């Protein structure tokens, strides 16, 4: 069976967005299959984060629709989307300042109905190899463990789709390799679809099944990393400006 015969898990069509009277996104169409890793690249200011804001339900688009499991979810907010299996991580890993690691897991468990158990928390921490004692203050964590803490808390909800905004930001190479390994395991072994926003194209090399290139609020190319690297349009818009 041809790969394209699988229905997408998640897609958007004709998305556009204006902010402060400026057009930020225009006519964005994309889709992701179960277990697929889709890279979204583009220079700073291309509109990648704004796109994730719409896809995760934090911004309302001017036009267009978002679909999850063939259902139109455009009017659902962030929390409703989280509940049906869409997890989102942010460019900056902001942890609750006055909580310990253990209190953070507990607060997230109890925000979920029905409550998640300690086993759910341990399972999620294991998935990302987060090994920090419960009584450590969040503010004592370095960037890598902040990212892992937030990531584990999202994985507790057993998402089927992850929307990740520059998960490698602020990490050193060995940490990026570890994150890539975790993402590969989540996609290939647990069939979780992962959409990764990244501005450094080389970081998608070992991880993305397929890549979408954005520039100035538009999708300018889609394909394998190899295809897009050799696209004249992408070279002109992306590499020459970085």
Ligand X SMILES: Nc1ncnc2c1ncn2[C@@H]1O[C@H](COP(=O)(O)OP(=O)(O)O)[C@@H](O)[C@H]1O
Residues interacting with ligand X, by CB under 6 A?
19-20, 22, 24, 42, 44-50
Q: Which is nearer to ligand X, 51 or 183 (CB)?
A: 51
Residue 19, binding choice from ligand X, Mg ion, none, Cβ under 5 to 8 Å by partner class: ligand X
Least spacing, CB of residue 49 vs Mg ion, in Å: 3
Q: Checking phi first, is residue 46 left (phi over 0); if not, alpha (psi -120 to 50) or beta? A: alpha
Q: Which is nearer to ligand X, 20 or 114 (CB)?
A: 20
3-class DSSP state of 41: strand
Contact call for residues 57 and 163 (beta carbons, < 8 A): no
Q: Which is nearer to ligand X, 28 or 108 (CB)?
A: 28
Q: What does the DSSP assignment read for 80-140?
A: HHHHTTEEEE-SS----TT-BHHHHHHHHHHTSSSPPPHHHHHHHHHHTT----TTSBGGG
Residue 47, binding choice from ligand X, Mg ion, none, Cβ under 5 to 8 Å by partner class: ligand X
Residue 138, binding choice from Mg ion, ligand X, none, Cβ under 5 to 8 Å by partner class: none
Least spacing, CB of residue 18 vs ligand X, in Å: 9
Least spacing, CB of residue 96 vs Mg ion, in Å: 22
Q: Which is nearer to ligand X, 74 or 91 (CB)?
A: 91
Interacting residue with Mg ion among 49, 63, 65, 74 (CB under 5 A): 49
3-class DSSP state of 43: coil
Least spacing, CB of residue 59 vs ligand X, in Å: 9
The site that binds Mg ion (CB under 5 A) totals a number of residues, namely 2
**Nearest residue to 177 via CA among 146, 205, 156:** 205
Q: Which is nearer to ligand X, 22 or 113 (CB)?
A: 22
Go through 65-100 and write b for each residue having 16 or more CB atoms within 10 A of its CB, e for each that does not.
ebbbeeeebbebeeeebbeebbbbbbeebebeeeeb
Least spacing, CB of residue 115 vs Mg ion, in Å: 34
90's tokens:
């942010």
Q: Is 216 in the site for Mg ion (CB under 5 A)?
A: no
DSSP conformational letter for 229: H
Least spacing, CB of residue 166 vs ligand X, in Å: 8
d(CA 54, CA 50): 7
Q: Where do contacts with Mg ion occur on this chain (CB under 5 A)? A: 48-49
């Amino acid at each position: 069976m041809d790969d394209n015969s699988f229905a997408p898990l998640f897609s958007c069509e004709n998305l556009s967005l204006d902010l402060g009277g400026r057009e930020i996104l225009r006519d964005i169409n994309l889709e992701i299959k179960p277990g697929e890793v889709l890279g979204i690249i583009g220079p700073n200011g291309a509109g990648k984060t704004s796109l994730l804001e719409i896809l995760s339900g934090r911004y309302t688009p001017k036009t267009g629709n978002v679909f999850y499991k063939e259902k139109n979810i455009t009017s659902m907010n962030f929390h409703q989307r989280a509940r049906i299996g869409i997890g989102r991580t942010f460019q900056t890993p902001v942890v609750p300042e006055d909580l310990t690691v253990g209190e953070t897991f507990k607060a997230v468990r109890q925000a979920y109905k029905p409550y998640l158990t300690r086993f759910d928390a341990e399972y999620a921490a294991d998935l990302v190899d987060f090994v920090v004692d419960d009584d450590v203050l969040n503010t004592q964590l370095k960037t890598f463990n902040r990212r892992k803490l937030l990531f584990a808390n999202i994985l507790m909800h057993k998402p089927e789709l992850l929307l990740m905004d520059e998960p490698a930001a602020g990490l050193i190479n060995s940490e990026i390799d570890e994150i890539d390994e975790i993402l590969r395991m989540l996609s290939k072994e647990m069939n979780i679809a992962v959409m990764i926003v990244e501005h450094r194209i080389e970081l998608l090399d070992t991880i993305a099944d397929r890549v979408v290139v954005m520039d100035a609020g538009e999708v300018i190319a889609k394909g394998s990393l190899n295809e897009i690297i050799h696209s004249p349009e992408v070279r002109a818009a992306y590499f020459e400006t970085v």
